[in-house]
Amino acid sequence: MVHHNDPDHAAVPQDPLNPTDVPAAQPSPPTHFRPFRREQECVVVARTMRYLEHSGFYSGAMDVDEAHARLSALPSGTFLIRDSTQIDVFFTLSYQSAEGPTSVRVLLGDEGFALDGSRHVFPCLFALLAFYISSSKRSLRRPYRGNSPQTLQELSRRAVVRTYGRDSLETLPVSTNVRDYLQLYPFSI
């Protein structure tokens, strides 16, 4: 091994065929995510991540204590989605309940997304959220998008999706740039 501060070894050429001179392969960075079981699962998670990144309420790698601290002073029903710290779970829903901040694992199975302990399964995470927002229990009411104001573009996108519906976005008489922007997050949540 060459040490840059060692003049005796600085001029010694390394033999790439000699394994003692080749640096060991660096291990992959650790991750808490399990490997994907199927290609379709990878596609679903990648698509969900793209939408989450444009949702405004995705908090990424936030631990439970930080999520609960952010939600504790907010009205009941305020929620966010964050990365799960469980090795076999991708996302966690954290929300302010009447009893205080609560977190529930969002499970991904062969048929779609479900909250841990629930029998309701949905083809996408946003259908799951819409169901619990519109349910009679009203466990979820509004996403937590932080303290910074939302842009007029973000507010307009959600209003357009709410008015015309996700399935009608392709037929709207708008420019390609506007259509592409609408498709980045085609949900009214």
User: 156: closest CA among 185, 120, 132, 135?
Assistant: 185
Domains of the chain: 39-146 (3.30.505.10), 149-189 (no CATH)
Give the separation between CA 13 and CA 64, rounded to whole angstroms: 51
Q: pLDDT digits over 83-130, tens only? A: 998 888 899 999 999 999 999 999 998 889 999 999 999 999 999 999
Q: pLDDT digits over 21-65, tens only? A: 544 555 544 445 556 677 888 888 889 999 999 999 999 999 999
Neighbours of 85 (CB within 10 A): 14
Write down the pTM of the prediction. 0.76
86: Cα separation from own chain's centroid: 14
Using DSSP, state whether 83 is helix, strand or coil: strand
